Amino acid sequence: MSAAVGAERPQVVSHVQQALSYTVFDCKWVPRSARLLCLGSAARGTGLIQLYELHGARLELLREIEKSKPIKCGTFGATSLQQRYLATGDFDGNLNIWNLEAPEIPVYSVKGHKEIINSIDGVGGLGIGEGAPEIVTGSRDGTVKVWDPRQNDTPVANMEPVQGESKRDCWTVAFGNAYNQEERVVCAGYDNGDIKLFDLKTMSLRWETNIKNGVCSVEFDRKDINMNKLVATSLEGKFHVFDMRTQHPTKGFASVSEKAQKSTIWQVRHLPQNRDVFMTSGGSGSLHLWKDSEGSEMGVAGSVSLLQNVTLSTQPISSLDWSPDKKGLCVCGAFDQTVRVLIVTKLNKI
């Protein structure tokens, strides 16, 4: 399929490959720059943050920061464009916000969870959307907590299991529906296949469903608009696209599901410049680029078509991030201890 060069399909070009000496769990572009961050865990059990800059055909290491606990995930979503503070969740359940210019002491720190923070998301920063900047973390202890960097020690929202209920690991969280100062929604995916949608304005559970496979990654197509589309990926190579525009009182949201590959789909990321295009990364080391087409009527989910697929690695690609500044530039980190910078071409023609 990737040999169809003559046709006007987007091509995934591998631009730079960088071998690392540690396991990389998350990679993120630093907004408004050609720099990227790799977060991970070194062999001796400490956390590493590495800052790279893209120089021609290679990555130059600008800075390396070592922390006491391995770092699982990070986001720039809740900081302003001038500050560009990184919020990270680590293996011990600590949420820290770092100023990368002076990383010795965190700007904000809280031991938010009893177990590893699996996923983190931020909203309200980077000049996108309105409302207070907030960070949400999902952890293996079954709770999802929303933090405001101005308020220490206590979360502003806490989604925890009922007393006496056995907990399920929360694997992924995402913000959405943040189109004005009051509205905000958090979507969380758990390992037993549950997807829950919490409304932060009314502080209630708005919708839940079970997709029969552990949920690896959820993402709204845009955080800062009225809820439009939610993509949830899971084990067994399946992903579901939910149409979030209309909610049926009993049936919930309409969805379309695709089985893309035989292995787990680890991540889904929407292209910041075109919310109908998203990329999924799989356990077989492959990346698939999809285009979503709108449903004809309200409440009818559209269909998803595969634009391109490419296999880059033999190990799962666990993290993926599009650059918000250059269309088609993305970075992915895989469990074979390499981080790759890719360029997806011909995205203008979609």
User: What is the footprint of another protein within residues 195-254 (CB under 8 A)?
Assistant: 196, 198, 200, 203-205, 210, 212-214, 235-236
Q: Does 61 bind another protein (CB under 8 A)?
A: no
Q: Reading across the β-sheet that carries 35-41, which strands appear in turn?
A: 23-29, 35-41, 47-55, 58-67
What string of DSSP letters covers 56-106? TTEEEEEEEEEESS-EEEEE-TTS-TTT-PEEEEETTSEEEEE-TTSTTS-
Q: Which stretch binds another protein (CB under 8 A): 29-37, 40-48, 68-76, 248-256?
A: 29-37
Rounded CA gap, 10 and 326, in Å? Answer: 15
326 binds another protein (CB under 8 A): yes
**Interface residue with another protein, options 115, 183, 294, 325 (CB under 8 A):** 325
Nearest-angstrom CA–CA distance, 200 and 186: 7
Structure tokens at 340: 């790759």
Query: Per rule CB under 8 A, is residue 80 in the interface with another protein?
Result: yes
Q: Is 6 in the site for another protein (CB under 8 A)?
A: yes
Stretch of 61-69, 75-83, 112-120, 277-285 lying at the interface with another protein (CB under 8 A)? 75-83
Residue closer to another protein (CB basis): 47 or 129: 129
Sites for another protein among residues 257-316 (CB under 8 A): none
Mark the segment that binds another protein (CB under 8 A) among 19-27, 167-175, 223-231, 241-249: 167-175
Q: Pick the closer one to another protein by CB: 86 or 343.
A: 343
What does the block give as tokens for 5? 């060069």
The distance of closest approach from Cβ of residue 296 to another protein in the complex, given in angstroms and rounded to an integer, is 30
Q: Which of 115, 183, 194, 276 binds another protein (CB under 8 A)?
A: 194
Amino acid at 206: R
Secondary structure (DSSP) of 267-332: EEEEETTEEEEEEEEETTSEEEEEEEE--SSTT---EEEEEEEEE--SS-EEEEEE-SSSTTEEEE
Minimum separation from the CB atom of position 203 to another protein (A) = 4
Under the criterion CB under 8 A, does residue 131 sit at the interface with another protein? Answer: yes
Q: How far apart are CA 239 and CA 283, in angstroms?
A: 13
Q: Is 128 in the site for another protein (CB under 8 A)?
A: no
The residue written with tokens 């907590």 in the block is: 145
CA-based nearest residue to 341, from 307, 312, 309, 306: 312
> How near is the Cβ of 298 to another protein at its closest, in Å?
28
